[in-house]
A = this chain, B = another copy of it.
């Protein structure tokens, strides 16, 4: 029997049919509709059918969504258009497919994927840092996924590193995401260009046929040693380092996993660089503390979502 893992992102919905050994045996991808929950539900069902989900025996569906999940409902989805207030997407998808549906936060679920089948296997205390348009995070604590008292734990992107500092997409000032989220980095680059600085970032974006600077665009700009891109990236690393240092002081994890679009493009070098930059901020870390880049890459979300569904259906 396979479990369906669904990763609802700001740009794409990815679906994987995942076997009990956590391998992905079928997949499909759809653009994320911007017309609210009903359109997303439709796209998820279409993607599941597209991954050949109609042809196999499905046990359960797990869905990772970029927001807070509590009591089986999506409580808050800051990065998708048209999601206001709590939404039940479990019931319609469950009824359409006739199987149990379980929801989780996308970054939490991504780390769960790494924990069951990737870079975090065998670790009991793990921080996951997901670097993309925004910055998500996940936690494994005491050998169990940790999602907090109301389903919104793991927001490493909104750990404050410089109170009153740079403006963040959440409206506060000084969060990690304010410096290191791709959306805010692109905004800063645009402002600097308006202020007279030059950069190849937006030429590379056009050259790659993208509507905004993606991780691939940033990686190329860094590789070409673009000065402004490098400066913004250095500031991003600094902010991530302080946030990760704070979390290590608070949680004494034994592993930090770095994932998301930027990690896919930059690999273990990115994890190493964050480790090096965050070490000076640590008080007395585990001497065996290590940093690893995501091993599953783009599949972490679907593998983790399937694992979440499997765990809840078996335990429930």
Contacts and interface: CB of A to CB of B under 8 A. Distances in A.
Contact of A285 (B124, B144, B152): B152
B163 A284 contact: no
Interface string A114-148: 00000000001100000000000101011010111
A252 interface: yes
Contact of A158 (B150, B156, B283): B283
Contact of A149 (B137, B146, B254): B254
Interface of A, secondary structure class, is loop
Interface stretch (A49-57, A95-103, A240-248): A240-248
A155 B249 contact: yes
Copies of this polypeptide in the complex? 2
Interface string A281-297: 10111111100000000
A210 to B, nearest CB: 28
Nearest to A151: B252
A238 interface: yes
A281 B162 contact: no
Contacts of A24: none
Interface in A58-81: 68, 75-76
A111 interface: no
A289 B148 CA distance: 12
A291 to B, nearest CB: 14
A285 B170 contact: no
Interface string A269-288: 00000000000110111111
Given A142-B142, A146-B142, A172 B281 contact: yes
A16 interface: no
Nearest to A239: B163
A275 to B, nearest CB: 16
Given A75-B284, A170-B283, A250 B153 contact: yes
A251 interface: yes
Contacts of A148: 125, 251-253, 286
Contacts of A253: 148-149
Nearest to A159: B246
A285 B254 CA distance: 26
A301 interface: no
Given A141-B141, A150-B286, A156-B250, 19 more contacts: A125-B149, A142-B144, A142-B146, A147-B252, A148-B251, A148-B252, A149-B254, A150-B287, A150-B288, A152-B283, A153-B251, A155-B283, A159-B246, A160-B161, A162-B162, A162-B163, A162-B174, A163-B238, A170-B283
22 contacts: A68-B284, A75-B284, A125-B149, A149-B252, A149-B289, A150-B285, A152-B252, A152-B284, A153-B252, A155-B250, A155-B283, A158-B283, A159-B246, A160-B281, A161-B161, A162-B164, A162-B174, A163-B281, A170-B283, A172-B280, A246-B246, A247-B250
